[in-house]
Amino acid sequence: MRKKVIAGNWKMNLNLSDSIKLVSQIKNGLSENDNVDVIVCPPFTSLETVYTLVKDSPVKLGAQNVHFEKSGAFTGEISTEMLKSVGCEYAIVGHSERRTIFNESDETINKKNKAVLTDGLKLIFCVGETLDEREKGITQKVIETQIKGGLAGINENDLKNIIIAYEPVWAIGTGKTASPEQAQEIHKFIRSLIEKLYSASASNDLVIQYGGSVKPNNAVELLSQEDIDGALVGGACLDSASFLEIIKAAY
């Protein structure tokens, strides 16, 4: 049985005091449950403080981005070591907003993925097609290219530290969720691709999250699909009641 993993990607939202408020509400509203892992991914500026609030709780901490170099003249960038030093356990890489707004290629994403895993963080690796790609009927081809590119040179041992998040770009922040059947179809495709690239056991153990307008009113149905093992939540994770309801949907 794969454990469900619900992660909140706060994106560029919430200053320090709002971060403290949100994470405290999440922590206090969580009921004990061993079947679900909960991860919060605040902006860099809130990571250290949020860590002090979650470190004795089941809530884990993730970063929204990371650079692949270890240190040096990379103005504005943050290294894996820096993330670890403030209590981060996870890093999100390959988010569609990074791919499109910040022009991150599969090659850059691959370097980041490798840095994350080599340096002992866990990875939330995002993939997903645009509306145009879906309408052209090339969704699976796009996902395959992103996965092969992002995981190039990464061996099976590291897969236990990887979550793949399927986030169709057309469903992000739009209120348009993929139907449970559409999401399940791609999750199953991803699992079979991982079996082809690695092994049946690696594919069977892989946690695949769905992301894209996950809300309390669609979470139960999405999370009950065979190959959907969790959610990467954007907008709805900024409201503690909604995020807690999505977490409960995974129980």
Q: How many residues bind ligand 13P (CB under 6 A)?
A: 14
How far apart are CB 215 and ligand 13P at their closest, in Å?
8
How far apart are CB 92 and ligand 13P at their closest, in Å?
7
The answer to whether 232 contacts ligand 13P (rule: CB under 6 A) is yes
The answer to whether 168 contacts ligand 13P (rule: CB under 6 A) is no
Site for ligand 13P in 21-80 (CB under 6 A): none
| CB closer to ligand 13P, 193 vs 232 | 232
| CB closer to ligand 13P, 160 vs 176 | 176
In the set 104, 129, 167, 187, the catalytic residue is 167
The answer to whether 242 contacts ligand 13P (rule: CB under 6 A) is no
DSSP readout, the chain?
-PPEEEEEE--S---HHHHHHHHHHHHHHPPP-TTEEEEEE--HHHHHHHHHHHTTSSEEEEES---SSSSSS-TT---HHHHHHTT--EEEE--HHHHHHS---HHHHHHHHHHHHHTT-EEEEEE---HHHHHTT-HHHHHHHHHHHHTTT--GGGGGGEEEEE--GGGTTSS-PPPHHHHHHHHHHHHHHHHHHS-HHHHHH-EEEEESS--HHHHHHHHTSTT--EEEESGGGGSHHHHHHHHHHT-
Site for ligand 13P in 85-114 (CB under 6 A): 95
Site for ligand 13P in 3-32 (CB under 6 A): 9
* Binding residues for ligand 13P (CB under 6 A): 9, 95, 167, 172-173, 211-214, 232-236
Active-site positions read: 95, 167
